[in-house]
């Protein structure tokens, strides 16, 4: 008789999908890493508790693979790498420490040949991972799901926060704005850098497949990094976040957009801004854990191959 223990989300250790907690990278295909950091928030704090909440909810999402056509856990070696970027209590600038530490760990993971999914944390965290991915794969196309553009100048690292990464990573050449797309934007920020933008009021009158087609056309054959701020979704579906903005898509809509991105060369991804203390019935953490699954399948797509699509 099959054991039902895997369905008992209330028991056991909450690693992502109950995967092994290790930093041994031999033969690893995808590493899941947490960055419990929220010093960069400009509104409500609490995203430092995001990685733990997402891991807890991943216990509900790891037993099924719908709508993906195969079970990635049977095809690839996936690990939970643990949490990094913890500078609290050290004699240093904790934000700069986080950026440096996440970069060093991401660089190690990419050097092993694995891909990387990162659980935030606020939207300051992509700096290190994107820089490491750029060193490994070359200039990136960034797919940025958010209600905000996050294109405020971080002043050469002296004033970085969760609203500056898209500016700074473009200026330094880690990402190509011409090949990148910001999706579900519904606030005003400067776009002198030339990002392709699909505003929420446009996207929600399109089909998910059409939104994905625009993203794919923009990315071309570039390696892709996906960064997903849960405030891209409407607060009805993701209330537990620091800077919610009404007028966004449903969880179903964003999942369908992701599903239609199959075939892109997704080399890394993150999901950020889950703030559990503002959540209701763990809706946001569950949505984030579900989207994390989708991001893993997009990264796996290039490893497993077309035969299983």
**pTM (2 d.p.):** 0.94
Task: Please tell me whether residue 126 adopts helix, strand or coil conformation.
Answer: helix
pLDDT for position 309:
46
pLDDT for position 307:
43
CA 300 to chain centre: 15
Report whether the peptide linkage leading into residue 298 is cis, meaning its omega lies within 30 degrees of zero: no
Which of the residues in the chain have pLDDT under 50? 1, 306-309
Residue 139: φ, ψ to 5°: -55, 135
Domain boundaries, the chain: 15-308
Token digits of residue 151: 């294109």
Token digits of residue 247: 């007028």
Please classify residue 12 by burial: count the beta carbons closer than 10 Å to its beta carbon, then call 0-12 exposed, 13-18 middle and 19+ buried: exposed
Per the CB < 8 A criterion, the answer to whether 222 and 140 are in contact is yes
Whole-angstrom distance, CA of residue 302 vs CA of residue 51: 25
Q: Are strands 196-199 and 181-185 parallel, antiparallel or unpaired?
A: parallel
Question: In the CATH hierarchy, which top-level class contains the domain 15-308?
Answer: alpha beta
pLDDT for position 67:
87
- Residue whose C-alpha is closest to residue 267's, from 95, 109, 72: 109
Contacts of 52 (CB under 8 A, 6+ apart): 14, 34, 36, 276
Query: Scanning the structure block, which residue is given the tokens 């997704």?
Result: 266
Task: Please tell me whether residue 232 adopts helix, strand or coil conformation.
Answer: helix
Query: Scanning the structure block, which residue is given the tokens 């440096």?
Result: 100
pLDDT for position 1:
45
Per the CB < 8 A criterion, the answer to whether 204 and 245 are in contact is no
């Amino acid at each position: 008789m099959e054991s039902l223990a895997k369905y008992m989300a209330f028991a056991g250790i909450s690693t992502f999908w109950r995967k092994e907690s290790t930093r041994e990278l031999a033969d690893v295909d995808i590493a899941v890493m947490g960055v419990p950091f929220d010093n960069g928030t400009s509104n409500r704090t609490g995203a430092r508790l995001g990685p733990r909440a997402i891991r807890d909810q991943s216990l509900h999402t790891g037993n099924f693979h719908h709508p993906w056509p195969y079970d990635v856990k049977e095809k690839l070696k996936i690990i939970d790498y643990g949490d990094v970027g913890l500078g609290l209590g050290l004699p240093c600038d904790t934000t700069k420490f986080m950026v440096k530490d996440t970069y060093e760990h991401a660089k190690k993971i990419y050097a092993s040949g694995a891909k990387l999914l990162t659980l935030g944390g606020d939207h300051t965290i992509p700096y290190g991972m994107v820089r490491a991915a750029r060193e490994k794969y070359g200039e990136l196309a960034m797919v940025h799901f958010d209600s905000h553009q996050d294109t405020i100048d971080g002043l050469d690292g002296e004033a970085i926060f969760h609203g500056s990464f898209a500016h700074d990573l473009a200026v330094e050449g880690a990402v190509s704005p011409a090949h990148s797309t910001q999706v579900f934007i519904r606030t005003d920020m400067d776009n002198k850098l030339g990002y392709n933008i699909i505003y929420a009021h446009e996207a929600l009158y399109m089909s998910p497949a059409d939104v994905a087609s625009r993203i794919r056309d923009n990315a071309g054959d570039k390696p892709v990094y996906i960064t997903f701020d849960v405030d891209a979704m409407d607060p009805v579906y993701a209330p537990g976040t620091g800077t919610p903005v009404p007028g966004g898509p449903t969880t179903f809509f964003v999942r369908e957009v992701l599903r239609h991105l199959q075939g892109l060369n997704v080399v890394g991804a993150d999901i950020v801004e889950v703030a559990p203390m503002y959540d209701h019935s763990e809706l946001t953490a569950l949505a984030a854990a579900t989207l994390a699954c989708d991001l893993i399948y997009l990264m796996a797509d290039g490893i497993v191959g077309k035969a299983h699509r």
